[in-house]
Chains A and B, each alone.
Chain A
């Protein structure tokens, strides 16, 4: 599991602690309105959301269901156009999918006719920047990193949901993005698999070591994984609170049973409950 990836591919990684929190991803007053069909009221989903993520920071985005957190994430990824506001990545504005970011989707959306290996290499192949040998090397590294060794030649229908999500994660990591976006990647898994993958992701965060935005509705998951948790209001969503999680980077399950952890979770829960539905 523990192979360090070379992450300094196309972005200079700031090294000191201060730079860790220097904003790399900046979203400023993002608005997203869905204009439904004729005669229907347009629906404001994201209403002036602002956030910053440091170049090596893991930020979790939580909020009640339907609050627009997935839409905001999709905007950050450049997959969804937004109506007002600005999103910049390393100072450059995001318009459309970027080579700098990669997305881990809630549904693995693996190509069923491609093997695990070929699914992972897919996003790298499409960039047309690496030779076949280079792609092979990178895939081998990522396969080891996410614990897919021995499953390279399996097809998606032959592996479990947890394994499929590992492929999903590997497919994002293999392009060595500066910004890793994760949309409730463990939301559809059973409780045990979910905990296992949380543990593994948690131990990987130090190695992944890049700007990460993790959307979830699971408060404990957010606190367990993130350096910082952002709370969104109910729809139309905007960021209403930020909680810094000051546990050391190497997290353990025991940590989740401490009173400090429980206190943070309780505070966040109160916040999510309190916000009136509008």
Chain B
């Protein structure tokens, strides 16, 4: 059978007839490149932008006072280290982030579980969560400065106010979404309400909790920057703010670069953790 079929077009050509291709269409192809290639291209992109930037700055195509340059950022960093400013600033920022995030995660998990599990708590607290989450919380900064002072306490309040909501909302949604069939199964296994919370709802909420934590951490970084800009001008945020005011754009960009690296590290770390926690999920 197969050989006959394979021979058919050949016979046609022997008889002098043209073999015509079946009508073809450019159908969609999977668009993928290897991860190595993708990484290489990404790096190449960054390096070439830096190169163009540096050349443009040296050639005077752009004003270095406004846009600085890669070497300007490097010098800014060197100056800050020589002045002994960068180290303490990093420490101060890390401390604010750790304290603010610690409170946001602990409080967010607790509040999220309570709101997600107890309908009465949900009914009472959900309006507050919705109102606060929907409102631009940065608008409260002047009030926070009045209520909590311009120091560390006020800064922590800002970070928590910004970071806690993604945690609360994701945890609550995760705890609330108990699989119906699993709930029925647990009931028939004589599970108490507490059993269902501990053995079904909480383990089932792990992916939601992880993504809440990730969003919370991202918002927390934003909160740290905002808090340092507006309350006390401390830490790396303070450096950026002051440098911006005095047109030391290299230093300002260095500060922004520090936050970018921190955010990148935090997301990739949390994504790796999420992936490990997700191993039992089907598909």
Contact = CB atoms under 8 A, between A and B. Distances in A.
Interface of A: 77, 79, 97, 99, 102-103, 105, 107, 109, 111-113, 122-123, 126-127, 155-157, 171, 175
Contact of A111 (B184, B192, B199): B199
A155 B181 CA distance: 18
B177 to A, nearest CB: 14
Interface residues of B, number: 21
A157 B184 contact: no
- Among all A-B residue pairs, the 3 with the closest Cβ atoms: A123-B189, A109-B181, A109-B185
Interface string B181-193: 1101111111110
Nearest to B195: A126
B179 interface: yes
Interface string B152-193: 000000000000000000000000000101101111111110
Contact of B188 (A97, A127, A157): A97
Name B's interface SS: helix
B281 A97 contact: no
Interface in B206-232: 206
B40 to A, nearest CB: 35
B179 to A, nearest CB: 7
A10 B59 CA distance: 91
B280 A113 contact: yes
A114 B192 CA distance: 19
A99 B281 CA distance: 31
Given A111-B199, A113-B203, A126-B195, A105 B185 contact: yes
B89 interface: no
A127 B190 contact: yes
B135 interface: no
B281 A79 contact: no
B282 interface: yes
B78 to A, nearest CB: 50
B181 A107 contact: yes
Given A109-B181, A112-B281, A113-B203, A79 B189 contact: no
Contacts of B190: 97, 99, 123, 126-127
A105 B183 CA distance: 12
Contacts of B189: 122-123, 126, 171, 175
B184 A105 contact: yes
Contact of B179 (A109, A126, A155): A109
Given A157-B280, A157-B282, A103 B203 contact: no
Contacts of B145: none
A126 B191 contact: yes
6 contacts: A99-B190, A103-B188, A109-B179, A109-B181, A111-B203, A126-B186
Contacts of A105: 181, 184-185, 188
B200 interface: yes
Contacts of B200: 111
Contacts of A107: 181
A111 B181 CA distance: 10
A114 to B, nearest CB: 8
Q: Most chain-B Cβ atoms within 10 A of its Cβ — which of A77, A79, A103, A109?
A: A109
